[in-house]
Structure 1
Amino acid sequence: MSGKDDYYNRAKQQGYRARSAYKLKQLDETAGLFGPGNTVVDLGAAPGGWLQVAAEEVSDRGTVVGVDRQRIDPLEDHDSVELVRGDLTEASTIDEVVERVGADTGERPVDVVISDMAPNMTGDYDLDHARSVHLARQAFEVADRVLDSGGDLAVKVFDGKDLDDLEADIEEQFEYVRQVRPEASRDSSSELYLVAKNYLTAPVREGDRVEVEIVDIGSEGDGIAKVDGFTLFVSGVEEGDTLEVRVGDVKPNFGFAQPAE
């Protein structure tokens, strides 16, 4: 029996609306996307297979917001799922998603953004690839507006010449990005998923040079400086020093720096 038939039959037997549910399960197993109580936004959610998986993983304590321009039948077994009907290429739909999760209040309440969106296939691979990149950027735009510090993004894209630029742009806003090809993807498919981990809301990025004041010394002996409330650990300094530093590794909630030469 072929792989695609196996996943199709498993979906039917286990009550999932689409075989793609197993792609998300495998992404979660590989990258650790979900946890109980999480808030998840699922873009391009119809017919609802990914909604089912996400709802199972976040449990009744979490919330999953599904978005698609197609109608999605309500998930009767999952009270935690909310639905938004709209086209994500339109700003009004993105604004509605932002409002629905409460991000319009200035908070960033979302733990994970997932997207299985794909373009209508034309048969022209370069065009299909370009359209998939455009949709991935739409998902990235949503993630950039709603993700909490340390949140994750998993987005589908077709392999091709614009992939490196897309990956580089996403990586600027996350601690790291990796490419994942789930086993449940069809053998003939060029699809892959960019999984970006640990969204950065820090006011600095690796390589920045900023002037700071060392306000304290940490338990490991590094100086502690604040940049717009964000903590930088600076090596080789004393409390009370004011100096220019070069930012190194940046994590969601803190970063490291050294005195600039």
Structure 2
Amino acid sequence: MSRYQRQDRFFKKAKHDQYAARSVYKLEELDRRYQLIKAGHRLVDLGCAPGSWLQYLSKALGKKGAVVGYDLADVEVNPGKNVRTWVANVEDLTPERVRADLAQLILDLKTKPAPEAPASVEASADEPDAAPEADEAPPPEEAAAPPAPPNLRIDGLLSDMAPKLTGIRDADQARSVAINGHALRLAEALVNPGGYFVAKLFQGRDTDEFVAEVKKVFKDVKLQKPEATRDGSREVFVVARLRKPG
């Protein structure tokens, strides 16, 4: 099968299945192979645009699950009420910020109906509310969200991030390792013992060093190249399971 036939097959399948991108089949294969995602899990998705992974996760997690996603770009779809996304530089994220965002989503799922607006959220100045009509009672004030518990944990952290490519192989690979190093630090702070970490990486001279760092945090670490990966691509996924206690 040629490279173009291979790409075309997954592209057409994504369109048929109504997913935002063909990359969903990479996650689907990893999940099927390693049995990662369970109903009710709480997850973080880094590099989540255009949103195909979020679509898959929303279905897999069910009503009791929750996933927060971050990307520099807007998410193009509304994956479901158990998903919330933010336009943000992932490298600026802190565990405290992620905990607060997840805690707010969990609270909203318990107290609010499904939102009609797209899931993507971007910070903006609040506009003043219009005054109520004379025969209308003002709406009840919403309770402020409680501070996120400092020990709030997640079941897994997924990263489909990729750096802006320069065409310089070593530089692109080094940048890939750098942004995934940040993802790993977030995973170390947030993932429950026994949980998992999945990250897309460009293979190169720093791959072994990065995998060694992942093995300090997770007991079982594999490199996997899903079938939907384009021919000739240097991308590979680090699949780490069984977060060590700590």
- Under a length normalisation based on structure 1, what TM-score does the superposition of the two structures give? 0.73
For 1:113 and 1:68, the matched residues in 2 are separated by: 14
Task: Determine the structure 1 residue equivalent to 2:122.
Answer: none
Which structure is larger by alpha-carbon Rg, 1 or 2? Answer: 1
For 2:241 and 2:216, the matched residues in 1 are separated by: 11
Note the residue ranges of structure 2 that are not aligned, 5 or more in a row: 104-146
- The one of 83, 86, 89 aligned to 1:87: 89
For 2:64 and 2:49, the matched residues in 1 are separated by: 23
Note the residue ranges of structure 1 that are not aligned, 5 or more in a row: 203-261
For 1:30 and 1:46, the matched residues in 2 are separated by: 24
What is the CA-CA distance between 1:54 and the residue it aligns to? Answer: 1.1
For 1:84 and 1:161, the matched residues in 2 are separated by: 33
Task: Determine the structure 2 residue equivalent to 1:123.
Answer: 167
Structure 1 runs, 4 residues or longer, greater than 6 Å off: none
Aligned positions of 1:76-225 closer than 5 A: 78-91=80-93, 95-102=96-103, 105-202=149-246
Task: Determine the structure 2 residue equivalent to 1:16.
Answer: 19
More helix by proportion, 1 or 2? Answer: 2
What is the one-letter code of the residue matched to 1:24? Answer: L
More strand by proportion, 1 or 2? Answer: 1
For 2:16 and 2:77, the matched residues in 1 are separated by: 20
Task: Tell me, yes or no, if the aligned pair for 1:101 and 1:109 is still in contact at 8 Å.
Answer: no
What is the CA-CA distance between 1:95 and the residue it aligns to? Answer: 3.9
Task: Tell me, yes or no, if the aligned pair for 1:158 and 1:192 is still in contact at 8 Å.
Answer: yes
Task: Determine the structure 1 residue equivalent to 2:111.
Answer: none
RMSD: 1.6
What is the one-letter code of the residue matched to 1:180? Answer: Q
- Under a length normalisation based on structure 2, what TM-score does the superposition of the two structures give? 0.77
What is the CA-CA distance between 1:91 and the residue it aligns to? Answer: 4.3
Task: Tell me, yes or no, if the aligned pair for 1:108 and 1:148 is still in contact at 8 Å.
Answer: no
Larger RCO (alpha carbons 8 Å, 6+ apart):
2
For 1:132 and 1:153, the matched residues in 2 are separated by: 16
Task: Determine the structure 2 residue equivalent to 1:70.
Answer: 73
Task: Determine the structure 1 residue equivalent to 2:106.
Answer: none
For 1:40 and 1:150, the matched residues in 2 are separated by: 14
For 2:51 and 2:23, the matched residues in 1 are separated by: 10
For 1:53 and 1:91, the matched residues in 2 are separated by: 24
